[in-house]
Amino acid sequence: MAILTSLRNCSFLALAEYSDFKKEVHDIIFNLPEDLGKGACIFEPLNAWSGFFDKNRSVSPQMSIYDSLNAKYLPPLHKEM
């Protein structure tokens, strides 16, 4: 609660530079009161700790978490015809 009190004058909050607890971080950010949370991202997604690519440079299953996070928190993109 102290964090929210100190953020009283902020118009939005976005979080960068995390690696673990991807779902939990997004749940917290996107559930802040008054629509304060706007997003979260990994600042260096290609580092060894993120685990998005294996030793063969293939996308790891860990990347699939973002499909569910996008579906849960982001509106569909509007495509013009």
Does some domain include residue 1? no
Number of domains composing the chain = 1
Does some domain include residue 28? yes
Does some domain include residue 62? yes
Strand partners, 40: 15
Per-residue confidence band for 32, with pLDDT thresholds at 50, 70 and 90: confident
Query: 54 lies in which domain range?
Result: 10-72
pTM above 0.75, yes or no: no
As a whole number, mean pLDDT of residues 41-65 equals: 77
Percent of the chain with pLDDT over 90: 0
Does some domain include residue 23? yes
Does some domain include residue 58? yes
Does some domain include residue 44? yes
Q: Is the pLDDT of residue 2 over 50?
A: no
